[in-house]
A and B are shown apart, each in its own frame.
Chain A
Amino acid sequence: MPDITLSPTPARADAELDCKGLLCPLPVYKASRALDRLRPGQVLRVECTDPGSLADFPALARQRGFTLLSVADRDGIQVFHLRREM
C-alpha cells in the first residue's frame, strides 16, 4: 500500500495521498491516519478513483472534525483537500 509523501511544492497541500485504484473505505481510512500525522491547520490532498469516496469523504470530515476544503472530479479522478483543525 502506498504511504503518505510530503509534497515538494506545497502550493496548497502539506501532504499528498495517492489512493487511485483503492476501493472504499481504504481511501478514508488512509486519509484519516494521514491527517492524524499532520499539525493543526495543515492540508492533505487525496486522489481517488472509487466514486464511493464522494460520499465517504464528507462523512469522514463530519465525524472526525476535519474541514473538507474542496472536491474536484477530473477525468474520473476525484481530488479532495482536507484540513486538520485541532
Chain B
Amino acid sequence: MSIAPGSIADRSMPSDTSRRRYRDVRELVASPENPTPLVRLNRVLRPGADGYLKLEWFNPFGSVKDRTARALLQGMRDRGELRGRELVEATSGNTGIALAALAALEGLRLTVTIPSGVPREKLVLLRMLGATVLPTPDELCPIDNPRDGAIALARAIAESPAHAGRYAMPDQYANADNVRAHYEGTGPEIWEQTEGQVRTFVAGYGTCGTLSGVGRFLKERDPTIRVVAVEPQRGHRLPGLKNLEEAKAPAILDRSVIDDVIRVEDAPAYAMVQRLFREEALIVGPSTGAIVHAMASLDGSADPIVGISPDGGQKYASFYADLLDDADPTEV
C-alpha cells in the first residue's frame, strides 16, 4: 500500500479512539484491539436471562467470515501458495464476499462455487466484487457426498490435472487458519468483553472454525465453560449452517470442545429472526435466529451466555419477503 507523502494516514494514530482513522479497509476487520460489539439481548430470552450477541456483521465486508478470509489469505501468502495463481473456494456466500473483497485489493482472481438456494443478493455482491460465481446443486456429486456439491466442485477445480496447478483453494473446511482466526481473535475478544465471566458459548455448525477456535480458547481459560453447537434440520434453509447427518463433518471440527448440540428447525429459527428485528431492533441473518432460539432454551445455570451473530439481515431481503404476513398493515 502506498500513501501520498504528507497524508495524515502516515502519522501515528491519535490515542483518543474517537479520532481513529484507518490506512485501508482491511484494518477494520475485527481483532482484540478492534473487537466486534457484544450486545445484550433484553427481550427475546427467558425473563432475567443474561445473554449477549456478538455482532460479527460489524466487520467491513459484513460477516464473521471477514476474520476467516483474512487468516486464510495470510496463511497462504506466508506459505508461498498464492504466487501466480487464482483462488477457488466453496462458500455459502459470506467467505466468498470477504475473499472477493480482499482478493480485489491484492489483484487476485477468485472463482466461487456456491450452493443453489443462496439468496440472489449474495450472488450479486460476489459478482460486483469481480468474482466468477458457479451456482452448484447440492446433489451434484450423488455418489460421494450427497449435500456437498459446492465443496466437491471447488476441490475438483483446484486438483484437476488439466488445470496444472492454476488454482489454489483456501479450503475453509479443512484449513487450520480458519480455527486460528477465532482462537486468536473472537475467543480472546469474548473473554475480555465479559471480563472472564462467560459461562456458555453458542455458535452454529458451519465450517466449524468459530466453534473449534473459540471453544478451544475458552476451554483453556476455564474448562467448565459450556460450548453449545447449533445444528439445523435436514434439508434446512439456513445459509452457512450445516446438518452433519447430511453433510460431511468439516476436518477442522474439534468435537472435544463441544459439550452439547441443540437442533433447531427452520420455522422457530425464522420466527426468532422476526422477533430479533421487532423486539431487539437487530437486523440479523437467518443463522442468528437459530442460534438465539437455542440460547432461549437454556436455563439460568448457563448465564452469562454469549452467542454469535454471524451476519446481518440485509443480504436476505428476498428470503424474508416470505416471512411477512399479508395481514401486516400496509396502509394507515
Contacts and interface: CB of A to CB of B under 8 A. Distances in A.
Contacts of B155: 23
Say which size band chain B's interface belongs to: 10 to 19
A72 B262 CA distance: 49
B153 interface: yes
Mostly helix, strand, loop or mixed at chain B's interface? helix
A24 B141 contact: yes
The CB with the most chain B CB atoms within 10 A, among A22, A25, A28, A55, is that of A25
B307 interface: no
Interface stretch (B156-164, B212-220, B223-231, B247-255): B156-164
A55 B143 contact: yes
A40 interface: no
A1 B163 contact: yes
Say which size band chain A's interface belongs to: 10 to 19
Interface of A: 1-2, 20-26, 28-29, 52, 55-56, 59, 63
B202 to A, nearest CB: 34
B142 A59 contact: yes
The CB with the most chain A CB atoms within 10 A, among B134, B149, B153, B156, is that of B156
A26 B161 CA distance: 12
B140 interface: yes
A25 B142 CA distance: 9
B139 A25 contact: no
